[in-house]
Structure formats: structure tokens, C-alpha cells
Amino acid sequence: MRVFIVYAHPSEDSFTAHVRDSFMRGLERSGHGAVISDLYRMNFRTDLSEAEYRREAFYRRDLPVPPDVVCEQEKINASDGIAFIYPLFWSDVPAKLKGWFDRVWTYGFAYGDKAESGEPGRTMKRLEKGLAICCAGNTMEYFHRTGLLEAVNRVMLQDRFFDRVKEKELLILDGTSRELESRKDRWDSRLQKAFQAGERFFISP
């Protein structure tokens, strides 16, 4: 099966880059294929143009979608599942990835009127699985204590994934901040979790 990976991190010298590679090795181990959009390396434009805003604000699916957005939508519809890999910045995805959602989840494709337009690919298929893997500096104890765990879950699973995928999951690899003494101890176990997530991507829990 084919997995579309949307990866967002500004540095290749990062724990998140290792997570990406471990996840992809897990997919390969299970015989799955993958295509990746590395948003920073692609210099993916994240801001809505005025024309894009007008298309979304007035629900005008007849207006054109920019070519770079069409390319991302084609990757989605050519895949069986989607995975987002990113660091947690201020309790959310990086701006690059937030902008990806703003621009790629277009009206008539990912939400709103999905009536058949007669144009193949204009409507998002329902994917078998959606997985978000985020690397967090803080520990799970902190997320539980502050209530941020529920917030992060709700935004990604209930809003961004919603019913666009049949099975959805959020995996937080916590305690990876460079200031933590435990970062080194957690390193291998967190990468093993990423590998296992790739290995069992299409296996229902």
C-alpha cells in the first residue's frame, strides 16, 4: 500500500528527521511504498493568496486551485494513507504545516460541497489511515497536567483528520528537548516507536 508522508521540520540536524527515517524504514519493512513532501525543502508557500482566500471564503469550487496545491492533492488521492511528521511548536504544528492545511484542504476537495464535478481528482478520497507523529520537548506528564494533551488530540484528530480517514491516530514522542538529561535515554525507544508505527501502519489495533 502507498503512504503519503507530509514532513515539516526546518533542520535535518534534528530528532524529527531521525523519526522520519525510522518511520520510513518501518513502512519498507512491511512492504509499503511511500512518497514524501518535505515542506521546508520544497519551500512550500504557506500563505493564502487573495484569490485563494476568495475561493474558500465564498465557497467557489469553480475557481482555480494553484498548481502546487493540485500537486499535493494528487499525492493524497494516489495514496492509501497519510502520515504527518513534525515537531510540536507552541502546542501545534509548525507554521509550514499549518499553511499546508490552510491551502491543501480546499473547499470541494477536503470539506464542503463534494458533489461530483466531472473532474477526476477534485474530491478527496477517504483514506484508510491517517497518522500524526509529533516530537515534543515536554513530557507526557506535562501534557496531562496542563490539559494540552486533549487540545492537541482534538485539533489534529477531530478537525484536521475528521472523517477524511477511516482510522486515525496521534503518536506523541515526548521528552525530546535538548535541555532534558533524559533525552539521550529516550532516544532509541522513541525511534523504535516510530519504526513500529511504520511497520504496523495498515494494521488495525
* 81-87 and 127-135 strand pairing: parallel
Q: What is the pLDDT of the chain when averaged over all its residues? A: 92
Instruction: Note whether 63 and 109 are within 8 A (CB).
Output: no
Residue 23 lies in a domain: yes
Give 155-194 pLDDT, tens digit per residue.
999 999 999 999 999 999 988 767 666 667 778 889 999 9
Which of the four pLDDT bands, split at 50, 70 and 90, describes residue 14?
A: very high
Least confident of 4-13, 31-40, 97-106, 136-145: 136-145
Examine the pLDDT at 62 and tell me if it is beyond 70. yes
Q: Which domain holds residue 62?
A: 2-199
Burial of 47 (0-12, 13-18, 19+ CB in 10 A): exposed
Which of the four pLDDT bands, split at 50, 70 and 90, describes residue 113?
A: confident
Question: pLDDT value at position 203?
Answer: 83
Could you write out the DSSP letters of every residue in 119-140? STTSSPPPEEEEEEEEE-SS-H
Q: How many CB atoms lie within 10 A of CB 25?
A: 14
Examine the pLDDT at 117 and tell me if it is beyond 60. no
Question: pLDDT value at position 119?
Answer: 58
Number of structural domains (the chain) is 1
Greater confidence (84 vs 180) lies with 84
Residue 204 lies in a domain: no
CATH number at residue 40: 3.40.50.360
Helix (H) or strand (E) holding 34: strand 33-38
Instruction: Note whether 125 and 77 are within 8 A (CB).
Output: yes
The pLDDT > 70 percentage for the chain reads: 91
Whole-prediction pTM:
0.93
Give 34-58 pLDDT, tens digit per residue.
999 999 999 999 999 999 999 999 9
Q: How many CB atoms lie within 10 A of CB 147?
A: 9
Q: Is the dihedral of CA 15, 181, 173, 145 positive or negative?
A: negative
Residue 137 lies in a domain: yes
Residue 205 lies in a domain: no
Which strands sit side by side in the sheet containing 127-135, from one edge to the other? 33-38, 2-7, 81-87, 127-135, 165-173
Contacts of 10 (CB under 8 A, 6+ apart): 40, 94, 96
